[in-house]
Copies of this chain bind each other. A is one copy, B any other.
Amino acid sequence: MDVAQVLIDGKWREADAEGTFHAENPAKGEAFALAFPTSRWSDCDLALTSATKAAAELRTINPAKIATFLDAYANNIEAAAVTIVAAAAEETALPITPRLKDVELPRTTNQLRQAATAVREESWRHATLDLEKNIRSCFAPIGPVVIFGPNNFPFAFNGVSGGDFAAAIAAGNPVIAKAHPLHPNTTRLLAEQALKALETSGLPLATVQMIYNVSNENGLKLVSDPRIGAVGFTGSRTAGLHLKRAAEDAGKPIYLEMSSINPVIFLPGALAERSEQLAQELVDSVLAGSGQFCTSPNLILIFETPQTEAFLAQIAKSFNDRAAQPLLSTAGRKQLHQGVTALIDAGAQLITGGDHAPGDGYRYANTLLRATAKQFLAAPHDLQREIFGNATLAVTISNQFELASILRLLEGNLTGTFYSAKSGADDVTYNDIAPLLREKVGRLLNDKMPTGVAVSPAMNHGGPYPSTSHPGSTSVGIPTSIARFAKLDCYDAVRPERLPDILKDAIANPNTWRSINGAWVKG
């Protein structure tokens, strides 16, 4: 049997495997021929030892080499794009165009290049100089970072190429990536390009290592190993909370993005003005990526207005008209169905969908459920369950008081959205209610669906627990995301010639912003 090799210490090598698995083509429901190994602890151990050595080397290296690597990796991914995109399409059933080729792959290389720019500029290090007291500080690498990527973005959140990866590398840390077992071949192809870029840029070859799978026990051991600096995780709440406890008990910072239902609120004036257009926007957002987005609207809050029933009917009709796309896995479809069933059990009414859909692969009918605010308030826990897939729950609201009560009972979310009248007719309600939603979300939107997550320095792809593990940090947005993987190094009365270049009185880099005696100064 052909078994893929793992990337450890700069070499593709046979894994010390305790088993193998096969990924599937979810559009066909067929397993691929290539087997992938589940690594024993010895693979993790070797990766950890190699990462420790690489971390020490990286601390002494000219950061420009890290930037060179990130740019070279982006170039390599583009040069191999046809192969990588084809593999991802096979493993995820996501469309090659526009999704994989025209959106996610360019987003991924853009992230790597933005990270390269941040490394060259060095402003992310937040150099702070108190010249009078001769105390200086800046961010520095935290140590090897273990990254778990999710199932739903094979490039942009992949442990070996995504946002956490770019941030951890930009901070000067080696990465040990765990591939998601639903797209191991895509991850393998990316890691090949990473290794080539390491070779040409002169970074330690163990700066990027990749294994495909480990037992749950070894996963917990990995995130709590003394040799690591921090952990990045994007995935399910169940897996995330297990890793969180293990890492935190060992004193290791762990950044998790776990779950979010992304409430979208339609105020009465917005429905009166443009309900047809809004229904269309909502359908596009809920069905994007078959609803398998962290920012997919799972909870729609709609005031009962003369337009509301037509609005819901239009959504239901669009859901029926559009063909259900394959989900990422049979397990995902099963969980989606369990979620829909649980919502119904908790009082929601099924409008359309609610079962497997015809066609090849793991399809589930586009699903709309509804409930009243009273029902939601009677079962707030069960009715804010995340349903990861092409399904959403609309809750109709008879007055502002009900809406306020619902918002107060929401868990933390990545995003929250208001649609309101352009005329200003909803402004009084907005001003009353927005502060309640503001408290529960990382990103507040107006008149725009939350599904898109721009790579901007001002982005917050984060939010209050349990959507993430810390409401003050973001996994998307450069340079902000980089500081998560840094320690704060202070120099008190350290002799000038011994200071890192970035903290010397005169700085060579003309592009670095530093805070000197309380004022931000460039170069």
Residues of A within 8 A of B (CB): 56, 59-60, 128-130, 133, 135-137, 139-140, 142-143, 244-245, 248-249, 251-253, 412, 415, 430-431, 434-435, 438-439, 442-448, 450, 454, 456-460, 462, 464-466, 469-474, 480, 483-484, 486-495, 498, 513, 515, 518-520, 522
Q: How many copies does the complex hold?
A: 2
A442-B489, A445-B493, A445-B494 known; 5 new pairs, CB 8 Å cut-off, are A133-B454, A251-B465, A253-B471, A446-B492, A474-B488
| Minimal beta-carbon separation of A153 from chain B (angstroms) | 19
Q: Pick from B249, B439, B450, B520: contact of A513, CB below 8 A.
A: B520
Can you name the residue of chain B whose Cβ is closest to the Cβ of A457? B128
Can you name the residue of chain B whose Cβ is closest to the Cβ of A479? B518
Q: Are A458 and B129 in contact (CB under 8 A)?
A: yes
How far, in angstroms, from A196 to B132 measured CA to CA in the complex? 35
Q: Are A459 and B520 in contact (CB under 8 A)?
A: no
Can you name the residue of chain B whose Cβ is closest to the Cβ of A455? B133
Q: Are A471 and B448 in contact (CB under 8 A)?
A: no
List, in ascending order, chain B residues with CB within 8 A of A430's CB: 498
Give chain A's interface secondary structure class: mixed
Can you name the residue of chain B whose Cβ is closest to the Cβ of A135? B458
Q: Are A460 and B489 in contact (CB under 8 A)?
A: yes
List, in ascending order, chain B residues with CB within 8 A of A446's CB: 492-495, 498
The list of the 3 closest CB pairs from A to B, nearest first, reads: A251-B465, A520-B520, A460-B490
Counting chain B CB atoms within 10 Å of each CB, the highest count among A431, A459, A472 belongs to: A472
Given contacts A444-B490, A460-B490, contact A470 B130 (CB under 8 A): no
Q: Pick from B129, B244, B253: contact of A472, CB below 8 A.
A: B253
How far, in angstroms, from A454 to B133 measured CA to CA in the complex? 8
How far, in angstroms, from A488 to B249 measured CA to CA in the complex? 25
Q: Pick from B469, B484, B486: contact of A251, CB below 8 A.
A: B469
Q: Are B251 and A466 in contact (CB under 8 A)?
A: yes
How far, in angstroms, from A59 to B446 measured CA to CA in the complex? 20
Q: Are B459 and A490 in contact (CB under 8 A)?
A: yes
List, in ascending order, chain B residues with CB within 8 A of A469's CB: 251
List, in ascending order, chain B residues with CB within 8 A of A491's CB: 443-444
Can you name the residue of chain B whose Cβ is closest to the Cβ of A138? B458
How far, in angstroms, from A136 to B522 measured CA to CA in the complex? 22
Counting chain B CB atoms within 10 Å of each CB, the highest count among A59, A143, A244, A493 belongs to: A493
Given contacts A59-B435, A458-B133, A472-B487, contact A492 B444 (CB under 8 A): yes
| Minimal beta-carbon separation of A21 from chain B (angstroms) | 31
Q: Are A137 and B460 in contact (CB under 8 A)?
A: yes
Q: Sample 11 A-B pairs with CB under 8 A, ordered by A number.
A: A59-B435, A136-B458, A143-B439, A251-B412, A253-B472, A442-B489, A457-B515, A471-B488, A472-B487, A513-B519, A513-B520
Can you name the residue of chain B whose Cβ is closest to the Cβ of A497? B427
Can you name the residue of chain B whose Cβ is closest to the Cβ of A121? B518
Counting chain B CB atoms within 10 Å of each CB, the highest count among A446, A462, A519 belongs to: A446
Q: Are B448 and A492 in contact (CB under 8 A)?
A: yes
How far, in angstroms, from A252 to B135 measured CA to CA in the complex? 31
| Minimal beta-carbon separation of A184 from chain B (angstroms) | 31
Can you name the residue of chain B whose Cβ is closest to the Cβ of A55? B439
| Minimal beta-carbon separation of A230 from chain B (angstroms) | 9
Can you name the residue of chain B whose Cβ is closest to the Cβ of A140? B438
Q: Are B513 and A487 in contact (CB under 8 A)?
A: no
Q: Are B253 and A244 in contact (CB under 8 A)?
A: no
How far, in angstroms, from A495 to B522 measured CA to CA in the complex? 31
Q: Pick from B447, B464, B488, B519: contact of A460, CB below 8 A.
A: B488
| Minimal beta-carbon separation of A30 from chain B (angstroms) | 40
How far, in angstroms, from A448 to B494 measured CA to CA in the complex? 9
Given contacts A130-B457, A444-B489, A495-B446, contact A472 B142 (CB under 8 A): yes
| Minimal beta-carbon separation of A190 from chain B (angstroms) | 27
Can you name the residue of chain B whose Cβ is closest to the Cβ of A139? B472
| Minimal beta-carbon separation of A94 from chain B (angstroms) | 24
| Minimal beta-carbon separation of A172 from chain B (angstroms) | 12
List, in ascending order, chain B residues with CB within 8 A of A142's CB: 471-472
| Minimal beta-carbon separation of A294 from chain B (angstroms) | 14
List, in ascending order, chain B residues with CB within 8 A of A252's CB: 465
List, in ascending order, chain B residues with CB within 8 A of A434's CB: 498
| Minimal beta-carbon separation of A233 from chain B (angstroms) | 14
How far, in angstroms, from A489 to B493 measured CA to CA in the complex? 36
Can you name the residue of chain B whose Cβ is closest to the Cβ of A434? B498
| Minimal beta-carbon separation of A87 from chain B (angstroms) | 31
| Minimal beta-carbon separation of A120 from chain B (angstroms) | 13
